Amino acid sequence: MSIWQYANPKKFMDTTGPLLPWIGGASLLCIVTGLVWGFFFTPDDYRQGSTVKIIYLHVPSALMAINAWFMMLVASLIWLIRRHHVSALAAKAAAPVGATMTVIALLTGAIWGQPMWGTWWAWDPRLTSFLVLFLFYLGYMALWAAIENDDTAADLTSILCLVGSVFAVLSRYAVNFWNQGLHQGASLSLDKEENVADVFYYPLLVSIAGFVLLFIFLVFLGTHTEIRARRMRALLARERMV
């Protein structure tokens, strides 16, 4: 029993296919629970007022924006080293999800920032690295779309993914690297003093779980689609040759 057996597209689809409805359902349940709990049943913050409710969307989406890129990095490395097609296709499937999460994080951050910081946008290290990460997502998807040969596209996008990882790391640690800018430190911390209050923390955890499950659901679904699309292209090519 080895993890590499899932590099076989059929094995991957047979294993993950039956899980899709369960993961999708669990994701929906967690997101609805987290957001309803956070929106209706948590108090306002003494400084931020009701804008604290934006945390249940902003933090999970920002976490997924960065972690989606790290998942793509691992999948790209597997492709570059072991040439497993499923890993390249999984990275391709993760890109639109990560890009959407980045947009949500940027939008909710701007909407929260306007009343709290007095500005929609600042060229702050974390905000700027997030914007660059979004541009990398767009470039990654454009590169996949621009190259006809699947293996060449996988090679080049994998290299782009390695380069973009610098900005994924910067997005995560910009606040620590440059102790300046408007963006505060991490909302979640193992240090109880620095962590958000429990009343906000638990619904936030549920919402994060929902976003993680949504990401897994969409990556599995997208990988299935990419495997089928690849098979279809292969069949059509064979048909043209006959």
Partner 1 sequence: MPDLGKYADAVLSSYALSLLLVFALVGWAVMRSRKTRAALAEVEERMKGRG
Interatomic CA distance for residues 222 and 160, integer angstroms: 20
**Least distance from C-beta 166 to partner 1, angstroms?**
26
Interatomic CA distance for residues 112 and 202, integer angstroms: 21
Nearer to partner 1, 104 or 204 (CB): 104
Nearer to partner 1, 96 or 139 (CB): 96
For residue 190, how many C-alpha atoms fall within 13 Å in the half-sphere facing its CB?
A: 0
**Least distance from C-beta 93 to partner 1, angstroms?**
9
Which residues contact partner 1 by CB under 8 A? 31, 35, 39-40, 44, 49-51, 53-54, 57-58, 61, 96-97, 100, 103-104, 107-108, 111-112, 114-115, 214, 218, 221-222, 224-225, 228-229, 231-232, 235-236, 238-239, 242
Length of the chain, in residues: 242
**Least distance from C-beta 82 to partner 1, angstroms?**
26
**Least distance from C-beta 100 to partner 1, angstroms?**
5
Interatomic CA distance for residues 184 and 186, integer angstroms: 7
Interatomic CA distance for residues 146 and 17, integer angstroms: 29
Listed in sequence order, the DSSP H helices in 118-149 are: 125-146
